[in-house]
Amino acid sequence: MTEERLRASLSTAGRGVVVATLLVACGGDPAEPVAPVVQPPTVDSLPLRTLADRRGLRIGTAVDRGFRLPGTEGTRFMGVVSREFNVLTPENDMKHDRIHPARTTYRFVSADSLVAFAEANSMRVRGHTLAWHNQLASWLTSGTWTKDEATALLEDHIDNVVGHYRGRILEWDVVNEPFNENGTLRSGFWLDRVGREYIEIAFRKAAAADPIASLFLTDFNIEGINAKSDSAFVLVRDLRAKGVPIHGVGFQAHFQVGGVPSTLAANIARFAALGVKVHFVELDIRVPLPSTTAALQAQAQTYREVFDACLQSPACGLVTIWGFTDRDSWVPNTFAGWGDALPFDASYLPKPAYWAIYNRLK
């Protein structure tokens, strides 16, 4: 199967116009010709989003660099996004340091372009993220704030960001990565300055700013039953008992090949019993580098296991893959000696992992 065979215009002609317009808005060269976007991996195959929709499932990806790529590459990148996925997560553009660079300044342009792209391509958006210990603007972390001041800053941030996108976001990652591996709450600006009540404050404020969006607590290494997920379970249970508007738990699911916990299904079930959704929100599956044919086949099976677990639970209505192409994955810079974690290779061509997802959905 040649690459030329994979490339053609989208069946919806207007998408090419949307892509070209957004490239210009994000700094692309308006004089550079816009190349055809990528078609399905075979002439007669259906996009993943179509197959997922038939199963009552949403399938998403995270987007960052693609909107800053020039010309042909940017168009190809966004073509795969719009064709294969029906949910988009801004990887960085809604994080505190990007969207709130000064105390009285909010910078929505980049995030707005992603939301507009999603809406133009019949995609929904996951907002990421409101209260996190990382990627906070320096004006916030370098300041000396009382508890009341820090609380007001948290509420102001959530009110402005969530309010800006009111009615346009499917679900928000309200509190991200609040736990240490032993299940204690992680030290960070919000916990240290506000106290553990920052979690409840964040959820209540987000609900007030957008009563329609679903509100999630997300973390990594809570996919199986362990000390960390036990603490997450207790927290969600207690918040629900107090009437705090928390609607879901997000499993980040940054796995290594063959690393799906044996207790995954049981863990999904116990959270679901609390009345919350359980979504996979940052899925990738890394393999040792250089990757081998055997490793990529094992990776495909691991992806299938995750989709199996989701499809078997009514509480799991969404799987978001953290990016889609190995060209842009965060994994090699974070896990030395590991990579090739995503369903498309660096040339935007489908890997065995893609076909495992495709066949499981089909």
CATH code for the domain of 340 = 3.20.20.80
Which structural domain range is residue 149 located in? Answer: 46-361
- How much is the pLDDT for 361? 97
Would 218 be classed as within a structural domain?
yes
Q: Other CB atoms closer than 10 Å to residue 54's CB: what's the count?
A: 11
Choosing from 84, 91, 155, 177, the catalytic residue is 177
pLDDT tens per residue, the chain (362 residues)?
Answer: 333 333 333 333 333 333 333 433 343 333 333 333 344 565 468 999 999 999 999 999 999 977 788 888 899 999 999 999 999 999 999 999 999 999 999 999 999 999 999 999 999 999 999 999 999 999 999 999 999 999 999 999 999 999 999 999 999 999 999 999 999 999 999 999 999 999 999 999 999 999 999 999 999 999 999 999 999 999 999 999 999 999 999 999 999 999 999 999 999 999 999 999 999 999 999 999 999 999 999 999 999 999 999 999 999 999 999 999 999 999 999 999 999 999 999 999 999 999 999 999 99
- How much is the pLDDT for 299? 98
8 Å CB contact between 279 and 321 = no
Would 314 be classed as within a structural domain?
yes
- How much is the pLDDT for 66? 74
Q: Which amino acid is at 197?
A: E
- How much is the pLDDT for 44? 63
Would 202 be classed as within a structural domain?
yes
Q: Total structural domains in the chain?
A: 1
- How much is the pLDDT for 71? 87
Would 263 be classed as within a structural domain?
yes
With left for phi above 0 and alpha for psi between -120 and 50, is residue 33 left, alpha or beta? beta
pTM over 0.85? The answer is yes
Would 30 be classed as within a structural domain?
no
- How much is the pLDDT for 158? 98
Q: What length does the chain have?
A: 362
Could you confirm whether 282 is annotated as catalytic?
yes
- DSSP strand pairing (277-288 vs 338-339): antiparallel
Q: Other CB atoms closer than 10 Å to residue 139's CB: what's the count?
A: 15
Task: Assign 278 to helix, strand or coil.
Answer: strand
Would 7 be classed as within a structural domain?
no
What kind and span of H or E run contains 110? helix 109-120
Token readout for 261 is 């916990």
What kind and span of H or E run contains 288? strand 277-288
**Rounded (10°) CA dihedral 86, 77, 287, 47:** 40
3-state helix, strand, coil in the chain (%, to 5): 45, 20, 40
Would 147 be classed as within a structural domain?
yes
Could you confirm whether 119 is annotated as catalytic?
no
Choosing from 84, 155, 282, 305, the catalytic residue is 282
8 Å CB contact between 47 and 86 = no
